Chains A and B, each alone.
Chain A
Amino acid sequence: MSAGAISPRFATPPNAALLEVRGVAKSFGAAKVLKNISLQIASGEFLTLLGESGSGKTTLLRLIAGFEQPTSGEIWMSNERLDTLPPYRRRVNTVFQNYALFPHLNVRENVAYGLRVKSTPKGEITGRVEEALRMVKMAQFVDVRPATLSGGQQQRIALARALINRPQLLLLDEPLSALDANLRKQMQSELKALQREIGIAFLFVTHDQDEAMALSDRIALLRNGALEQIASPREIYARPATAYTAEFIGQTNLLRGEINNGVARCGSLQWRTPEAPGAAVFSLRPEAIRIANASLQLPDAVRFRGIILQQVYSGASELLEIDCGSNQTLRARIPASGPLSGEHDFVFSASDAVPVFESPSAHWERATHHEPR
């Protein structure tokens, strides 16, 4: 394994591809915001673009919506070229981050906007508006101005306004980021249920990895304009392709060391591994580490001894910070078991140490400690 090129693993969509992004790159002047992105979205799929600010996720969304043009590459939808069409001719609709409801129109007029613009007959409009509002549970708010509604209510109207046009793909630009925590959780489950019910493909942008894990069929992790990994939430959590992915999604311990003669040595830890010799990085999730005791039998068990430096209690579990000697600190998540201290034996299964690639620019970023989200 070399600290060289990334080869993120791309899981292929289960159904036929609805949208294809082919080698798309986008620069604003000298700034390269997106570098050679290729991915596919299947019809009916809930795909999340996940990444930090500046990762290019919103730019990619806007390219698909039609508000920007790709510097190079193509976008295709249903076997037709998409990126050459203006936004008003794409079968794609967007739910904007701050909802962008028209302040001079009431709710009904906002929701009906897309239909009126296409000269849909009035009778049909009335029916479809009612249907759309019922779908987002806002049927009683027909004639009010958006300014009188709360954030969560505005968001539903924005959703109805987009969905009424029966797009093939719905784009959502961090729609829940302006909501408070409880409302956010509620909207997440409603959104997921809605998507299942309608069966339209959703392309969802967020920087919140919990949200991505909860909602998505697949997650596309973007970093500095490039695709780091694209896989289902379970896959991406259990088998992160890179150190960045391992740290961005969930918490992890990154074990850096060497493989020689089939044995991996990271600090004071060592275990047998079939991976190729050379420098190596492993991702070990904190919940994989347990306190050793006689009755615990783990396959390929790796034991080590360490001193508990810190213990952070969080209700159902505890996070232990363990000093393993030779400048190595690991974090373990164990079920809540009362206050602990001192030296203990710990154990984990070697198969839980997942080998990951170190991205080329990793040594710049190692200085900035990624807080587990």
Chain B
Amino acid sequence: MTSEFATIQLLNGVSYGLLLFMLSSGLTLIFSMMGVLNFAHTSFYMLGAYLAYTISGVVGFWPALVIAPLVVGGLGAVFERYSLRKVHKWGHVPELLVTFGLSYLILELVQLIWGRSTVPYGLPVQLQGPLFTLYGTQFPKSRSFIMLVSLVMLASVWLLLTRTRIGLLIQAALTHPHMVEALGHNVPRVFMLVFGGGCALAGLAGVIGGNTYVTEPAMAGSVGSIIFVVVVVGGMGSLAGAFLASLLIGVVQTFAVALDHSMASVLKDTAMAITPDSFIYPLASLTISQVAPILPYLFLVLILIFRPKGLLGTRED
């Protein structure tokens, strides 16, 4: 592996990891505030991408970058107000079920409105082309834009939560909802804002992820299970853990898909060479890139066996 390949892959991995973090941060926020695992979170991500595609066709990409997440956040808040709040009294499993139902609904509605195939959601002119060229390998502007947006978002969410009045209120509502309510604040409305905010973050990820990668009905499902892995590996409800796990999984996956080595090819010239008629050959001949799709899940299983509360988690249940 050459060093330029490693650098570019590392940058690609970090940008993918930061995109994962934009998704998992919203999920983690909602989960740690309300205890709700939003199964439809990546459906809001998909919705963000499709809405941005339509809106940018009318007013251009840059206004869409602001409008689409706001619309998605509004839809999330409406869903919280009229559906999720109704099942809140029955506990967390019905809450999870109602978001599960929503994920079916959003998928079907997206297919109904935008069709079942890929939509041509392209990059704006300003983001096309490479940002810089390193030893002959290019690093695209769009990926660096993802990194920029997610870092800005991380900073602003952190400032919002720790430095503003509403942020303090949210933190208080998380630990002492009854006390906050007794002080005259509308806690259900705070929850609605948090849910809408988390969905807006997913929508934002969709706006910039949709044109960097592909905008298609399968996009929600393809990242859906990965971000659940991120949240569990990082530790349920831990924002810092989600950050670490997103980067880790992003980098590992990006490196893995580019590597064509297998156990058999590595051991080929040694004394322990594995021949095609050996019974472990089907296992040993798998290349790392073939194994790449399952690496996050393997990681999940290993974490659960050796550190059940996740990398930076504090909850034991």
Instruction: Verify that A and B bind, or say they do not.
Output: no
User: Footprint of A on B, CB under 8 Å?
Assistant: none
User: Footprint of B on A, CB under 8 Å?
Assistant: none
